Amino acid sequence: MRVLLQRVSQAEVRVDGACVGACGKGLLVLVCAMQGDTEADADRLALKISKLRIFTDDAGKMNRSVSDVGGEALVVSQFTLAADTSRGNRPGFSAAAPPDEGEKLYEYFAAQLASLGIGTQTGRFGADMKVSLTNDGPVTIWMES
């Protein structure tokens, strides 16, 4: 799985003008299931993200996790994280999991993150989504399982 993680002050995702998911202080998690990914990959990433110390402590050092700060997560599917730009000018996305598998792993990943005690909302898989956020820091981290 591929994840682009952003520390945010707030984030929301809209579909057809309606807010379908939002979070306050916490994480925007853009996630893409890749071919061959399993629930074990989702488990590892969810656990790592829940413990990743990217929030500041009283001394101003990144030393606290989203759980430590009582933060939330907005998880949004983004198959374009599978982009292969090595040839030509049009990205290829064949490394992404097929849509039915991708959706299953996306929903599983979001549920795993929530099961770790992080308030979690999601976008809508396969929809044309409009995501807005206030990146805090900015802190943006690329992760792969």
Q: Quickly state the pLDDT bin for 56 (edges 50, 70, 90).
A: very high
Name the nearest CA neighbour of 42 among 114, 122, 116, 108: 108
What are the backbone angles phi and psi of residue 72, rounded to the nearest 5°?
-115, 175
Q: Quickly state the pLDDT bin for 140 (edges 50, 70, 90).
A: very high
pLDDT of amino acid 31: 98
* 0.85 surpassed by pTM: yes
CA atoms of 44 and 32, how far apart (whole Å): 14
Residue 132 Cα distances to 17, 85, 123, angstroms: 12, 25, 12
Collapsing DSSP to helix, strand or coil, 66 comes out as coil
Mean pLDDT of the chain: 97
Q: Quickly state the pLDDT bin for 76 (edges 50, 70, 90).
A: very high
Rg of the Cα trace of the chain?
Answer: 15
Domains of the chain plus CATH, in order, are 2-128 (3.50.80.10)
Collapsing DSSP to helix, strand or coil, 110 comes out as helix
Q: Quickly state the pLDDT bin for 18 (edges 50, 70, 90).
A: very high
DSSP 127: S
pLDDT of amino acid 120: 98
Which tens digit of pLDDT belongs to each residue from 90-132? 999 999 999 999 999 999 999 999 999 999 999 999 999 999 9
Terminal-to-terminal C-alpha distance of the chain:
5
- For the annotated catalytic residues, the residue numbers are 78-80
